[in-house]
Amino acid sequence: MVLLPPGAREPKTLTGSGRELWRALDRPMTAAQLAAELALVFDTDPARVAADIAPVLEELTSMGALEATPSP
């Protein structure tokens, strides 16, 4: 999967589980909810998934490909 965030000069490629992560982001959710959903998909521990996806979410947010909003 290739993303070209607004204003980016280079595309960002999501491979492997990154594609599932991106698909799961089709609706708003917290990082914990995302980790729980992906843990079900990959049959693994949500805490491990949360640790693995945190840097990816941070990078996607900093690139402008993802928008984080504060919880109500």
| 58 lies in some domain | yes
The DSSP code for 56 is H
Q: What is the mean pLDDT of residues 32-43?
A: 96
**Counted domains in the chain:** 1
Q: Are 5 and 63 in contact (CB under 8 A)?
A: yes
Selection from 21, 31, 28 nearest residue 1 by Cα: 21
Q: Is the pLDDT of residue 71 over 70?
A: no
**Containing structural domain, residue 46:** 29-66
| 16, part of any domain | no
Domain membership flag for residue 18: no
Of residues 40 and 68, more confidence is placed in 40
Does a structural domain hold residue 15?
A: no
The answer to the question of residue 10 being in a domain is no
Go through 21-57 and write b for each residue having 16 or more CB atoms within 10 A of its CB, e for each that does not: bbebeeeeeeeeebbebbbeeeeeebeebbeebeebb
What per-residue confidence (pLDDT) applies to 65?
87
1, pLDDT greater than 90 = no
